[in-house]
Amino acid sequence: MNNQYEYFEKSLTPGIAKKLIQELFAGQIVQKQEIMRVVEETHQKRDGLPSQAQHNNPVTLALYNMRREGEASNPDKSANWLIPSRTQDDDSVDPEHNNLDLEPEKIIGFGKQSVYLYYYPTHRRLAELEGEEVWACKIGRAKNDPLTRISSQTRTALPEDPKVGLIIKTDEFVLMEKTLQGILKLQGKHKQDAPGTEWFITSPSEVEQIYKNNFENS
């Protein structure tokens, strides 16, 4: 018996499921069925009790609650869930992530500041398998080095590094970021169930075209 377990002889609830999801899957992209199986098995192996719920599975409820609170996401409503280790929005860099392969796929524009777009390759592959040309991408801004900014946000133990799809150099990074994000929101492409507010269902080429239409000749 594991009476040192915090939830010893307690029935599985959404709150307990959330704690186990974060413990077992932080920094991973995992299918929902696998999350359910592992959480339920782990809870019972530690001498927790099965759920008493008659209808809603506590793991499913935990995932949906986490998505609403920005603590998990399922890109493009797929069966795969991204469980971030933590969400941070500062410019400090963890030394162990200085060696991330963040070479941008494309750099355009001119200026000392930047607007950047990055994504996770798994999101792109899932979209392409479904015949889609857009996927979950983050659009943000950096006053100084954009790669330092991106590294500070992606220092978690994810199974893959992000891909920097586009960097736009500018001297008006606040205006450009707000314009690009605003246009995508008007197009209904804001990903509201993602951690943070800067995720959109788009692509580097689509954002580049928006930039060209609104800034290149201005």
Half-sphere exposure of residue 36: CA atoms within 13 angstroms, side-chain side? 13
Residue 90 has a pLDDT of: 39
Contacts of 163 (CB under 8 A, 6+ apart): 105, 118, 119, 120, 121, 124
pLDDT in tens, the chain (218 residues): 656 888 999 999 999 999 999 999 887 778 899 999 999 999 999 999 999 887 789 999 999 988 887 788 876 566 788 887 654 333 444 444 444 567 899 999 999 999 999 999 989 999 999 999 999 999 999 988 888 888 877 655 455 788 999 999 999 999 999 999 999 999 999 987 766 678 999 999 999 999 999 987 76
In which region does residue 197 sit, left (phi positive, over 0), alpha (psi from -120 to 50) or beta (all else)? alpha
Which residue, chain included where needed, has tokens 């507010």? 197
**Residue that has been written with the tokens 């978690």 in this structure:** 156
